[in-house]
Amino acid sequence: MKLDPSTLQSPAPRSARADAMTIALITLLASIGGIAACSSMPERNLALERAHARFGAAQSNPQVNGMAVDELQAAAQALRSADQSLATGGTLAETDHLAYLANQRVALAEESAASRNAEQQVKTAAAERERMRLSMRTQEADTARAQLAQSQQANAAQSGALARADAKADRSDAALAQREARMHELETQLDALHAKKTERGMVITLSDTLFDTGRFALSPEGRRNMSKLAEFFQRYPTRRATVEGYTDSVGTIGANQLLSERRAQAVVRALTDLGVDASRLTVRAYGEEQPIASNDTVAGRQQNRRVEILFTAQDEDVSMN
């Protein structure tokens, strides 16, 4: 029987088609794998990244690492909680709040280390002063057996050293007292503005009576309050604040969000008009979110319609004049 040549060549085209289908399938699977890998990348959280950066700086600071061990451990635990919230899909507000608490813990560690270092300097200066006094008495006994001129010269040198040690101790005592006085003055100023200490920091609440109903322009009483706030900012020129706007639940979500933002911006404009640098102020609008009272009553809704000025602990001015 005679074979047809065409039947001998047919397997080669089928093999080429199979190879082409295999290559296409591999390419498709690689594309799907790339998309899956991209979709699994964790979202970034800037507040948490800043908290990690500040914690790293504090941890690498010998003074903080050596004098605020417990506080640093608490900050590390707070960071782990924030990381867990981000990793497990927690809400942005929850993760931001946990990152803020971690930042506060780091600030507390830094402040504790600075305070303990100041106390250590005072103790060291006092010890040095006592050592110099003992040394002076010893040398006085030795020089008493030597020539009178040498004794007088030694006494003069030791008196100068003692005076310098006393001056150093006095400066350390004065610096500590001045720091405590500045912190007390800051608390007094915030009390005058009816500030309240919260987990987020010091908060000054401006009620809706500072605005006309449904409006975002400040009333005369609101402008007077802005004058007091502006004086506070001028007294402490390194402090920063976040101006947050809130509303009740009456109206649409979009309208409430816009009204809360415009009221917060009105406060910022009033402060900048009074000389406060705009770079020191941040605006956040929450609309009807985060109510502090029930929206089912008139009194509750009135409490929810507010603007809050938030001074975080990390911004506290520890070098006030």
Enter the tokens of residue 139: 């040398």
Q: What is the CATH number of domain 193-315?
A: 3.30.1330.60
pLDDT at 145: 80
Q: How does pLDDT run across 97-140, given as a tens digit for each residue?
A: 998 998 999 999 999 999 999 998 999 999 999 998 888 887 88
Inform me whether the pLDDT recorded for 261 exceeds 90.
yes
Q: Which residue type is seen at 15?
A: S
Question: What's the pLDDT tens digit per position in 22-74?
Answer: 555 455 444 444 434 444 455 789 989 999 999 999 999 999 999 989 999 99
Q: How do the domains of the chain map onto residue ranges?
A: 45-179, 193-315
3-17, 32-46, 203-217, 268-282: which range is least confident on average? Answer: 3-17
Provide the 10 A C-beta neighbour count for residue 320. Answer: 18
Which residues face 242 on adjacent strands? 282, 310
| DSSP 8-state code for residue 129 | H
- Of 17-31, 176-190, 292-306, where does mean pLDDT reach its minimum? 17-31
Between CA 125 and CA 172 the distance in angstroms is 8
pLDDT number for residue 17: 52
| DSSP strands (E only) in the chain | 196-198, 201-207, 241-246, 281-285, 306-311
pTM of the complete model: 0.42
Q: State the Cα–Cα distance between residues 93 and 80, nearest whole angstrom.
A: 16
Amino acid symbol at 312 = T
pLDDT over 80 (residue 75)? yes
The count of other CB atoms within 10 Å of the CB of residue 150 is 11
The model's pLDDT over 145-157, given as tens digits with 9 standing for 90+, comes to: 888 888 788 778 8
The reported pLDDT for the residue numbered 178 is 60
pLDDT band at 225 (very low <50, low <70, confident <90, very high): confident
| pLDDT for position 146 | 82
Q: Cα dihedral sign for 213, 215, 219, 221?
A: positive
Mean pLDDT of the chain: 80
* Edge-to-edge order in the sheet of strand 196-198: 196-198, 201-207, 306-311, 241-246, 281-285
The pLDDT assigned to 208 comes to 66
| Cα separation, 130 vs 135, whole angstroms | 9
b/e 59-78 (16+ beta carbons within 10 angstroms → b): eebeebeebbeebbebbbeb
pLDDT of residue 26: 52
Cα–chain center distance at 215: 32
**Beta-strand pair 241-246/201-207:** unpaired
pLDDT-derived band of residue 83, with 50, 70 and 90 as boundaries?
very high
Please state, in angstroms and rounded to a whole number, the distance separating the CA atoms of residues 189 and 112: 23
Angle at 208 between CA 204 and CA 209, to 5 degrees: 105
Maximum mean pLDDT: which of 143-157, 249-263, 305-319: 249-263
